């Protein structure tokens, strides 16, 4: 599986369509999301390339309950004894207590999504609830940022490294020319916009998304421009 270095010790797994992230640090490895089901072997291979193994994974941070993010969490946890972090609101779906919503229909036409469609994510036990106010439980220099809207408890994570790396999750995607936009399927668009306004208040250099390429420089500026576009009045039309 393709792996790309974002900054010191931070790697993107995947090629832009479905991404997860490795954060390598003194206290071990943290994963942000885990791709679809059955990708633990590929994750292990990528870890090997940086001199790590699944046993080094100490924490799995889940941005939300969808199966293309939680798919391999159970297998990685079993191989590593990592602690799993997620929001309380998304935990019933992650633990399999609640049935996740049906996948969007366009997934059926894209072979890359078939594993997610036909093999739902195995449930995984969540060890710690994350909220923005309880950042002390997170490993290393990470903190949670509440970004509900895509799912009820969607959470982004901010790493204090290289000017700030924001793991956006599905709170947004980046366009090819580096603008921020909403993902296609959200539970609540007004809630997503509120979350994007909130992200626009933070400072970070790099933004790492689950379904697009990253923004590598001055990423918080791209979020601010999106937030401003929500509030700026429409241009008057000439008559």
Chain positions 159 to 178 lying near Zn ion, rule: CB under 5 A, are 170
Chain positions 49 to 88 lying near Zn ion, rule: CB under 5 A, are 66
Q: How many residues does this entry show for the chain?
A: 239
Nearer to Zn ion, 41 or 108 (CB): 108
What does residue 7 show for φ and ψ, rounded to 5 degrees?
Answer: -160, 175
Spatial CA neighbour of 174 closest among 224, 213, 210: 213
Nearest-approach distance from CB 170 to Zn ion, in angstroms: 4
Given the structure tokens 């993902």, which residue do they identify? Answer: 183
Nearer to Zn ion, 170 or 205 (CB): 170
Nearest-approach distance from CB 71 to Zn ion, in angstroms: 12
Rule CB under 5 A: is residue 33 a binding residue for Zn ion?
A: no
Nearest-approach distance from CB 218 to Zn ion, in angstroms: 26
Which residue has its beta carbon closest to Zn ion?
66
Whole-number Å distance between alpha carbons of 78 and 61: 15
Residue 104 Cα distances to 73, 92, 114, 155, 204, angstroms: 22, 20, 12, 21, 31
Nearer to Zn ion, 90 or 205 (CB): 90
Q: Which long-range contacts (CB under 8 A, 24 or more apart) does 216-223 make?
A: 216/6, 219/166, 220/164, 220/166, 222/174, 222/178, 222/179, 222/180, 223/172, 223/180, 223/196, 223/199
Given the structure tokens 């995947």, which residue do they identify? Answer: 14
Nearer to Zn ion, 24 or 193 (CB): 193
Nearest-approach distance from CB 217 to Zn ion, in angstroms: 26
Nearer to Zn ion, 71 or 140 (CB): 71
Nearer to Zn ion, 44 or 168 (CB): 168
Nearest-approach distance from CB 7 to Zn ion, in angstroms: 24
Count, residues near Zn ion per rule CB under 5 A: 2
Rule CB under 5 A: is residue 154 a binding residue for Zn ion?
A: no
Residue 168, beta-bridge partner list: none
Binding residues for Zn ion, rule: CB under 5 A, are 66, 170
């Amino acid at each position: 599986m393709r792996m790309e270095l974002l900054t010191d010790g931070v790697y993107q797994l995947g090629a832009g369509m479905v991404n997860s992230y490795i954060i390598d640090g003194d206290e071990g490895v943290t994963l942000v999301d885990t791709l679809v089901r059955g990708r633990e072997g590929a994750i292990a291979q990528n870890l090997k390339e940086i001199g790590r193994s699944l046993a080094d994974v100490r924490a799995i941070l889940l941005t939300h309950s969808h199966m293309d993010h939680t798919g391999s969490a159970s297998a990685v946890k079993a191989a590593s004894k990592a602690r799993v972090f997620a929001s309380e609101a998304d935990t019933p779906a992650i633990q399999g207590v609640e049935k996740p919503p049906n996948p969007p229909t366009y997934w059926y036409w894209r072979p890359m999504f078939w594993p997610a469609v036909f093999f739902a994510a195995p449930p995984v036990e969540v060890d710690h609830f994350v909220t923005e106010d309880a950042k002390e439980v997170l490993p290393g220099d990470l903190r949670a940022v509440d970004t509900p809207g895509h799912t009820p408890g969607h959470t982004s994570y901010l790493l204090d490294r290289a000017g700030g790396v924001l793991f956006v999750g599905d709170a947004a995607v980046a366009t090819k020319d580096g603008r921020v936009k909403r993902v296609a399927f959200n539970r609540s668009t007004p809630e997503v916009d509120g979350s994007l306004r909130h992200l626009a208040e933070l400072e970070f250099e790099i933004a790492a998304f689950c379904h697009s390429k990253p923004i590598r420089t001055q990423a918080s500026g791209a979020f601010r421009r999106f937030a401003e576009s929500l509030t700026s009045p429409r241009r008057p039309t000439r008559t």
